[in-house]
Structure 1
Amino acid sequence: MRDPLPGGVGVSRLCVYDTLTPDGLPGGTPHIHLCCTEAYVVTGGHGAVQTLSAQGFAEHELRPGTVLWFSPGTVHRLVNGGDLQIVVVMSNSGLPEAGDAVLTFPAEILADPDRYSAAVALPNGGAPGTDLTSAYRRRDLAIEGFHTLRAAVERDGPKAMAGFHAAAVALKQPLLDQWRTRWEDGAFRAAQSTGVQLDALARGDSTHLGEARVTALPRPTEEGRLGMCGLLNTYVP
């Protein structure tokens, strides 16, 4: 059995979609996370991420060496300026895979769980080899809702996001118990282990140091899964 990644985080390599969206910008699908902080470590190419948050609308340049992160509730949309490649680090490994994301579909779709489920679904769950058409379809629908939401924020300020946030929470209510279990078994347990080690050290007990070991993944666990922002190579320890 492999050890979890430090802090119970999730790591994946992202090659951002490079096809044009309806507004003429190539890139990914705008969405938010409800419980997870996300970080980008840019490893290649260049581009930008557009965000809607309590700070309003912003666009942040991305180039090799950039590290950028944002907290839950931030709508984010990646724009590919050319061969944009990113290592993505997510808190609460397991929660994103369990649905901790809501796409910025138009309001009438967000208000209907059945319509939302149909709009967000990908054939075979987006497994490697799945045709990209379905990923582009849902991305372009989310771009439509993103522009409506952005216009509202630019007109009325960040308070305009309250309706979208409320709809996102309502959509995910049925999953919260499952998310709590994943968090308790993952990131929370990883954090607790540090407390156990500190207590041991305070007693002069070095037992855990003698149990040290090295874990390696020579290649991604899965390559080419259709993600919201591009093709994902995932590492699952």
Structure 2
Amino acid sequence: MSLLPGGVSVSHLRVYDWPAPDGVGRAGSGSPHLHTASAEAYVLLGGTGAVHTLGPDGFVEHRLAAGDVVRFDPGVVHRAVNDGDLEVLVVMGNAGLPEAGDAVLTFPPDVLADPAAYRAAALLPGPGASDDELAAAARRRRDLALEGYAELLDDVRRLGPAQALRPLHEAAARLVRPYVPHWQDRWTRTVLHETDGTARALEGLVRGAAGHLASARVREARPDPAPRRYGMCGRLQTWPLG
């Protein structure tokens, strides 16, 4: 299956029901993080909860009702808050980049400043790890992100969002920089390729040409049969990207 229309990816998220150290969320919460190049949207499917964001407007709580959509641009810190059985359809721009590392967790500044320490804190155990081991590592990662998030939230309230978020944004850029050439290649072969195809189709249609319609295809995909993986904010069911 090729990329979904518009070069997006989707996943079905069940937000973690682990109680958060700061007591936010009656049922728990996800890990606060931001994306460096890709926009993201949550479509609420069921349950109750909210998304907490830190961005140009400071701290904002976005309460969610069935069918609501909340979008975050790159750079906005977001945290899913679970008040009970919160399930979300996650729509990600630039399908493939988020999966390739376009997310930075709000770890404490000393961890963000050390790429090796960041990788050690962010990566989950590899093949062969039990589900209990994966869950424990994901929970430790979430709690460390919440530790840094608490400091960041205090700075946003004390200094204002622009000044408080700047060090995080700069640290995020440093952390992902080694991966950007790979991202550029992937984006060119996928999202840009699709965008260019639309541009060519429009150029043809304005001349009355419809040759591209003859090569139309139908594609389908099934959810990944593997157990739901441990994502930033919860357990994820995914579909193949390509």
- Verify: 1:113 aligned to 2:112, yes or no: no
- Verify: 1:38 aligned to 2:40, yes or no: yes
Structure 1: distance between partners of 2:226 and 2:60: 33
* Secondary structure at 1:214 match in 2: coil
Summarize the alignment of residues 60-139 of structure 1 with structure 2, pairs less than 5 Å apart: 60-124=62-126, 129=131, 131-139=134-142
Structure 1: distance between partners of 2:40 and 2:171: 21
Structure 2: distance between partners of 1:180 and 1:128: 34
Kindly, what percent of the aligned residue pairs are identical? 49
**Which residue identity lines up with residue 58 of structure 1 in the other structure?**
V
Structure 2 partner of 1:157: 160
Shift in CA distance, 45/118, structure 1 to aligned 2, threshold 3 Å: same
- Tell me, yes or no, if the aligned pair for 1:128 and 1:223 is still in contact at 8 Å: no
**Which residue identity lines up with residue 37 of structure 2 in the other structure?**
C
How far off its partner does 1:204 sit? 2.1
Structure 2 partner of 1:8: 7
Structure 2 partner of 1:202: 206
Structure 1 partner of 2:150: 147
Consecutive unaligned residues of structure 1, counting only runs of 5 or more, are: none
* Secondary structure at 2:121 match in 1: helix
Shift in CA distance, 126/150, structure 1 to aligned 2, threshold 3 Å: farther
* Secondary structure at 2:54 match in 1: strand
Structure 2: distance between partners of 1:166 and 1:204: 49
How far off its partner does 1:30 sit? 0.3
Structure 1: distance between partners of 2:225 and 2:49: 27
Structure 2: distance between partners of 1:189 and 1:145: 38
Structure 2: distance between partners of 1:128 and 1:94: 26
* Secondary structure at 1:132 match in 2: helix
Shift in CA distance, 197/8, structure 1 to aligned 2, threshold 3 Å: same
**Which residue identity lines up with residue 167 of structure 1 in the other structure?**
A
* Secondary structure at 1:143 match in 2: helix
* Secondary structure at 1:108 match in 2: helix
- Indicate which of 47, 56, 59 corresponds to 2:58: 56
**Which residue identity lines up with residue 141 of structure 2 in the other structure?**
R
Structure 1: distance between partners of 2:2 and 2:100: 20
- Tell me, yes or no, if the aligned pair for 2:45 and 2:67 is still in contact at 8 Å: yes
